[in-house]
Structure 1
Amino acid sequence: MDAALVSSTFLTILLAELGDKTQLATMALGSSSGRPLMVFLGSTTALLLASLLGVMMGGSLASMAPPAWLHLAAGVGFLAQGVCLLLETRGDFPANTSS
């Protein structure tokens, strides 16, 4: 087992997840449900499965395209989302107004 890879992955995910909306929702569920252990088990299982899907998809994509292309595609995707959010905030981009 590659301890450096495991520890860097753990630290990256831990820091990325601290204070995000998923953690806040889990805190709310844990405090209001009266069964914090069940909330912990459910949220842990969900994060485990989401991570498994991400790793499997990443492994599949890595076998089809060079890592540099994947990094570029991810960067372009994040930039596009940022531009759309900025335009939506300014009112230059139509927001989803379906009710």
Structure 2
Amino acid sequence: MNWHLLGLTFVTVFLSELGDKSQLAAIALSGNGQSPRAVFFGTAAALLLASLLGVLLGEGTSHLLPEKLVKIVAAVGFAVMAVRLLLSRSSADTEEIC
């Protein structure tokens, strides 16, 4: 396993997730809780674990599946999501007109 790549990916995912829903949940919980420090450490540990699992699963998947197959599946998945978003948006616009 390439430890440098693993660490770089982990740090990148960790930094990209900082502004996510986890941060908002931590702020809400720490405002109501008796121990904001416990909420902070629990949130940080959960974020670290989620990031670590994502990196390990992604790295493991890269060894099992060919790169071309992963790219095709990702492209099809994004295309399906785009079509669904466009169709739901156009049906919502039609309902507003009526």
The two structures have a TM-score, normalised by structure 1, of 0.64
Amino-acid identity (%)? 40
Give the CA deviation at 1:61: 1.3
> What SS class does the counterpart of residue 19 from structure 2 fall into?
coil
CA-atom RMSD, angstroms? 2.7
Determine the C-alpha separation between the residues in 1 that align with 2:14 and 2:82: 22
Number of the residue aligned with 2:14: 13
Number of the residue aligned with 1:97: none
Query: Which structure 1 segments of 5+ residues have no match?
Result: 93-99
Determine the C-alpha separation between the residues in 2 that align with 1:60 and 1:36: 36
Cα–Cα, structure 1 residues 49 and 12, in superposed 2: closer, same or farther, change >3 Å? Answer: closer
Give the CA deviation at 1:83: 2.6
AA aligned opposite 1:75: A
Cα–Cα, structure 1 residues 74 and 36, in superposed 2: closer, same or farther, change >3 Å? Answer: farther
The two structures have a TM-score, normalised by structure 2, of 0.64
Number of the residue aligned with 2:96: none
Query: RCO higher in 1 or 2 (8 Å CA, sep ≥ 6)?
Result: 2
Give the CA deviation at 1:17: 2.2
Higher helix share: 2
Number of the residue aligned with 1:26: 26
Query: Which structure 2 segments of 5+ residues have no match?
Result: 93-98
